[in-house]
Amino acid sequence: MADLTRGERLQIMLTEEELRAVDDWRFQRRMPSRASAVRELLKRGLTAEGFTMAGGGSKSEDFGVTNGSAREKRAPKPDGAEG
């Protein structure tokens, strides 16, 4: 049986929308807790292919979950782009 002791605690802050997305995902899969859902999402994210590494100097606000990052929201739109 796997060792279930977890010696490290990780605290994160989420927007209401991000927390709702985690809870919705958790309930759809009948996960026993938010913590188990976050661990599963983290495991899936770390094993996913096709992600890009964050560049140096990135801020926490640059990594939103539900509607793109704050940086994407501030970025100027190319000519002719809607948004």
In a domain, 25, yes or no: yes
The pLDDT, as a whole number, for residue 9 is 92
Residue 64 lies in a domain: no
Alpha-carbon distance values, 31 to 16, 25, 71 (Å): 19, 9, 32
Q: Is residue 17 part of a domain?
A: yes
Count of Cβ atoms closer than 10 Å to residue 37 Cβ: 19
61 pLDDT above the threshold of 60: yes
Q: Is residue 36 part of a domain?
A: yes
In this prediction, residue 49 has a pLDDT band, given cuts at 50, 70 and 90, of confident
CA distance 44 to 60: 20
Q: pLDDT confidence of 68, banded at 50, 70, 90? A: low
Could you tell me the pLDDT band of residue 14, with boundaries at 50, 70 and 90?
very high
Q: Tell me, yes or no, whether 33 lies in a domain.
A: yes
Q: How many domains does the chain have?
A: 1
- Using CB atoms within 10 Å of the CB of residue 69, give its burial: 0 to 12 exposed, 13 to 18 middle, 19+ buried: middle
- Answer yes or no: is 80 within a domain: no
More confident residue, 4 or 81: 4
The domain in which residue 23 lies consists of 11-46
Residue 22 lies in a domain: yes
Does pLDDT of 73 surpass 90? no
pLDDT cut 70: percent of the chain above it: 75
